[in-house]
Amino acid sequence: MPFEGACLCGQTKIVLASEHKDQVICHCTDCRQTSGSAFSTNVLAPQKDVTITGPIKTYDAKAASGNVVTRVFCGNCGSAISHKSAAFGEAQAIQTGNFADFAKIPTGAEIFVKDRWAGLAPVKDAGQVDTMP
């Protein structure tokens, strides 16, 4: 069963055909800025299993690793949709806040925990990684 999600305004739709038993929280500065919060929640999905329709815009930025990260946003409301990087190979990170179903899917790992905000406790039973694995 595919996951179906949408941006805040509903104009950009995301269909994710791959299965995901857990998701990843990222505390890096870039993810915090694109989510407008203390972290972002994501899954890494094969690009062939991702369909994004509707108005989108992209923004390329250099990550701390030196890799270019292409961020995908709704072209109307600006909701963060996904991001791609050479580090992900043939996959892309899909931001799960756009999918109601991911509220029930556990967090398997937290990355860039060296940048986690003070006062936020580690997620119980989730792997803890200082930077990018």
The answer to whether 7 touches 79, Cβ cutoff 8 Å, is yes
Q: Which two tokens stand for residue 28?
A: 């890096």
Distance, CA of 7 to CA of 84 (rounded, Å): 18
Is pLDDT above 90 for 38? yes
Domain count within the chain:
1
Residue 25 lies in a domain: yes
Residue 37 lies in a domain: yes
Over its C-alpha atoms, the chain yields an Rg (Å, rounded) of 14
Residue 133 lies in a domain: no
CATH number, domain containing residue 94: 2.170.150.70
Quick: pLDDT tens for 80-106: 999 999 888 999 999 999 999 999 999
Quick: pLDDT tens for 48-62: 999 999 999 999 998
Residue 75 lies in a domain: yes
Q: pLDDT band for position 1 (50/70/90)?
A: low
Residue 81 lies in a domain: yes
Q: Which two tokens stand for residue 16?
A: 């994710």
Residue 29 lies in a domain: yes
Q: Which two tokens stand for residue 19?
A: 């299965």
Residue of 97, 79, 90, 81 lying closest to 23 (CA atoms): 97
The model carries a pTM of 0.89
| Other C-beta atoms lying within 10 Å of the C-beta of residue 61 | 13
Q: Which domain holds residue 24?
A: 3-128
pLDDT of residue 2: 86
Residue 124 lies in a domain: yes
